[in-house]
Structure 1
């Protein structure tokens, strides 16, 4: 198929690579403008842009696709580019810009979105993190026909995978990216064969996955141990969960449930601290912290961390 692709991060890069390897004609790539990153804060191209350039695919990086406002002329120019290509389909993956209604009607087969959840569960910006945080035991990828609503369109193809109780958001992201790359090829094949049967989403089952905010990163040890562990997994790698110990903010990167259950005066109390982990009392049960980080330092396993940090007779706030 003749395709216009829109996407930005690594997750989208996996899908673009799959389309290229699958023999589809990617005529144009839309991606976010280069952003400053790294120690020198130099402008860096997105993962999708790097891949497109390596395959000599034309790239456009509009600031907005809205036909009003200060970037209207740029948006209209990009619209005209897409219109002239006459794509069979547009594939949109974690692009980061809203696609106006005018774009949705350009391709013969419409616009397809690769979404990292089993729609209608976890519509929105952070489906991977919210699924882990909620303690879901499975998730997956949905290939959806786009319409004006937020992730509301009918689903062409979906596939589920289990969520291992130790996996974090970064690890689950990679699994779902691979799955998305495979499923988009399956969806396009169905469309080419005329065997696609889109399934309307059940609005009563819809749940919204709000964007992860740094303000959410603080841990509250009055919550049950299971919920705290899920949050630590969900917020790894971004933004990382935090807890304060004697006025020192620490990032907690990895923790597991603990069977250590002596009586605690209050939630957040350190029950033990050795090379096997820092056991902390919670509202229900306790957790064993295995990896953490001081401000300005690198992430360390607890066996290394405790060599220069004492947790005796203390509490996490």
Structure 2
């Protein structure tokens, strides 16, 4: 059968590879227009386009899917199915009607929980014990379509958004591969989402990165994990901003003094008092420097009596 794929970032690459390796024909790959990148701000192809060109697939990069000529070009591919993974453009109702078997989305959460732009990060931030992938039949709403299949994965205390991103990308590709024939044969009964259980995963903002040390250590750990690799949790270190890439909670009872106070610095990391409990910094970065183990940071800096606070410029 003829399949059109729509996706843009690295998360979309494993599912596209699954389709390329299948017995069906990927007739076209839709992806976002090339963006300026690097110091020279030269236009650079995204990961999905790079994979498509590697396999000599037709690439379409419309700014919008709404114009009549864009719709006609999509119809000309005569797709049996359109698979959408983190494409970045809204699909108007006219697009949803073109493929014989409709449009299927690979969404990085266990719908109806975490509809929207940042499901991976919000699941970690909220302290969810698990997340997963949902294959969803797309409709006109935002991640509101009926579900075709799901697969779950646990979230550990050490999982960052970067870790979970890579795991879910692979899980999405596997689930698509397992269910592709059933989708094309119409054997998967669509299951409506329970609207009473729906939550919204709002887009991330850089302002969310600042650490408030008066909060409990487990909550701050989730913030650190959720915002790696972007926008990266940060705190003030004198007149500089210290980025916190990885951390861990310590089982430390009692009052540890002023939140933000450095309690200890050793080879294992830098221990900081929180509103409740202690957060151990494991990997940090100063402006202009590289990411380093917090133990090395503590060895290079004088931390006695230091109290971390609002990030510089906030």
Normalised by the length of structure 1, the TM-score is: 0.94
Deviations 1:192-230 (A, max 9, x none): 333211100000000000111111111111111101001
Deviations 1:74-118 (A, max 9, x none): xx3221111111110111110001111110100111100000000
Residue number in structure 2 paired with 1:28: 28
Give RMSD over aligned pairs: 1.3
Question: 1 CA distance for matches of 2:255 and 2:202?
Answer: 37
Residue number in structure 1 paired with 2:173: 181
The answer as to 2:62 corresponding to 1:62 is yes
CA contact (8 A) 2:5 2:84 kept: yes
Residue number in structure 1 paired with 2:219: 227
The answer as to 2:292 corresponding to 1:300 is yes
Residue number in structure 2 paired with 1:72: none
What secondary structure does 2:166 align onto?
A: helix
- Distance change (3 Å), C-alpha of 1:113 and 1:26: same
What secondary structure does 2:243 align onto?
A: strand
Residue number in structure 1 paired with 2:264: 272
CA contact (8 A) 1:153 1:201 kept: yes
CA contact (8 A) 1:217 1:240 kept: yes
Picking from 96, 103, 112, the partner of 1:104 is 96
Question: 1 CA distance for matches of 2:77 and 2:268?
Answer: 60
What secondary structure does 1:26 align onto?
A: strand
Structure 1 portions without partners, runs of 5+: 68-75
Query: How far is the alpha carbon of 1:261 from its aligned partner?
Result: 4.9
CA contact (8 A) 2:65 2:95 kept: no
Deviations 1:238-266 (A, max 9, x none): 11101002121110011101134564332
The answer as to 2:278 corresponding to 1:286 is yes
Residue number in structure 2 paired with 1:70: none
The answer as to 2:308 corresponding to 1:316 is yes
The equivalences for 1:1-317 within 5 A come to 1-67=1-67, 76-261=68-253, 263-317=255-309
Query: How far is the alpha carbon of 1:270 from its aligned partner?
Result: 1.1
Question: 1 CA distance for matches of 2:286 and 2:184?
Answer: 54
What secondary structure does 1:256 align onto?
A: strand
CA contact (8 A) 1:93 1:115 kept: yes
CA contact (8 A) 2:3 2:24 kept: yes
What secondary structure does 1:4 align onto?
A: strand
Question: 2 CA distance for matches of 1:298 and 1:168?
Answer: 19
Deviations 1:127-158 (A, max 9, x none): 11111111111110000000010000000010
Structure 2 portions without partners, runs of 5+: 310-314
Q: Aligned residues, how many?
A: 309
What secondary structure does 2:214 align onto?
A: coil
Deviations 1:21-55 (A, max 9, x none): 12221111110111122233222101000011111
Runs ≥4 in structure 1, deviation > 6 angstroms?
none
